[in-house]
Amino acid sequence: MLSSLYFASSNQNKFEEAKSILSEFGISLKFFKCSLEEIQADTLEEIAQYKANLAYRLCSKPVIVEDAGLFITALKGFPGPYSSFVFDTIGNKGILKMLSKQRRALFQSVIAYCERKQDVMLFEASVQGKISKKLQGKRWGYDPIFIPEGQTVTYSQLKNKNKVSHRYLALRKFANWYLHKQISSGR
């Protein structure tokens, strides 16, 4: 395993997914449990960059944060960058009540890496899909209502979610960059 880096979040589930995914690339991840200010911004990139800088100031170690958003076509991209707030206030049941026939959606993840003050690298990925008509499965977040394109079940019901999710794709981009960086610097 390469030298550790930290995953800053208050979400244990998100950390466990990231740890599992990055371990496949030989990257050890430690949990820096903290509540980072969730700014309201127009893009996930802005939010992730802000949180990565804040996390680095708090732990002074190489750190990654992740911000994700569910963008629903019929709702003109809502909840998008406000996904955490919307989940905490109306949850999956509230989202399901807002939709009728049009159920197309995009789930996006942005990984932000910071090892020096104000020096943040971003890695983005997204998965097209649709919103289910009812809750399916018991995982956390929007997993029980998001069906990725090419699948017939939600993230919650997939046995291989960590191989196809928006988070996996963004973490894979990060891992490839990070490993190249480590090799280039002789670590």
Q: Which helix (DSSP H) or strand (DSSP E) does residue 179 occupy?
A: helix 166-184
Given the candidates 3.40.50.300, 3.90.950.10, 3.30.70.1730, 3.40.50.1370, the CATH classification of the domain at 5-184 is 3.90.950.10
Q: Convert the pLDDT of each residue in 3-28 to its tens digit.
A: 569 999 999 999 999 999 999 999 99
The pLDDT of residue 162 is above 90: no
Q: Are 182 and 174 in contact (CB under 8 A)?
A: no
- Looking at the predicted structure, is the pLDDT value of residue 2 above 70? no
Check residue 187 and give its pLDDT: 59
Q: Are strands 119-131 and 146-148 parallel, antiparallel or unpaired?
A: antiparallel
Q: What is the C-alpha R_g of the chain?
A: 16
pLDDT of residue 1: 43
Answer yes or no: is pLDDT of 96 > 90.
Answer: yes
Catalytic residues: 67
Residue 18's alpha-carbon distances to 6, 103, 149, 167, in angstroms, are 11, 28, 22, 8
User: What is the CB neighbour count within 10 angstroms for residue 84?
Assistant: 16
Number of residues assigned to the chain? 187
Question: What average pLDDT does the structure give for the chain?
Answer: 93
Q: Which sequence spans correspond to the domains of the chain?
A: 5-184
